Structure formats: structure tokens, C-alpha cells
Amino acid sequence: MHSTLHDWPDAECVKFLKRVKEAMTPGYSRLLINENVIPPRNAQWEATALGIMMLTLLSSRELTEADWYSLLQDQAGFGITGVYTAQNSVESIIECELA
């Protein structure tokens, strides 16, 4: 998934993610999510401005790593196997598997 989940409120994302889980095979399938992961401090202004825009226009938001763990693990039931961020970038790959 690329830049999809940040367009929706968490409750809708959980619905999408649960449908994806239905198509996955335990021990085999991986879900790769390419999204912004906002750092807890010293975030780039472009990323935080986008977060404010998403909040006001779509009732959604840009997520921190802790927010992604909450959404993917706690709410949708995925296991996160890694979060990979390029140096000086806000975009990351979040690798998930069935929990």
C-alpha cells in the first residue's frame, strides 16, 4: 500500500486492513506499507504541514511510529516486523505480517 491509509480515519483503516488480512497466508504473506512516519521530535515542517492539512480536510492524519504500532498491531491485529526509513526522509516502509 502506498500513501493510502493516511487519507482515512483510523476506524476506516482498520476495516481496510482486516480485508487485506483475509487475503494473506500465515507464515508466508507480508504487507508492505509505504507511508510517512513522523518522528516524535524535530519533524520536517513539510510533514507536519501535511499532517495539519490531512486533519482539516479529511479527518485523517500523518502518524508517528507509535501511532502506526497502535493502528496496525493493537487495532488491526498485524505484527510489525520492521520500520525502514531512508536517512533524511519522512517516508518509510512498514513491514507487517499476520500476528
Q: Which amino acid is at 13?
A: C
**Burial letters for 62-98: b for 16+ Cβ neighbours within 10 Å, e otherwise?**
bbbbeebbebbeeebebebeeeeeeeeebebebbbee
Of 1, 6, 69, 98, the active-site residue reads 6
Is 2 one of the annotated active-site residues of the chain?
no
Q: Hey, which residues are catalytic here?
A: 6
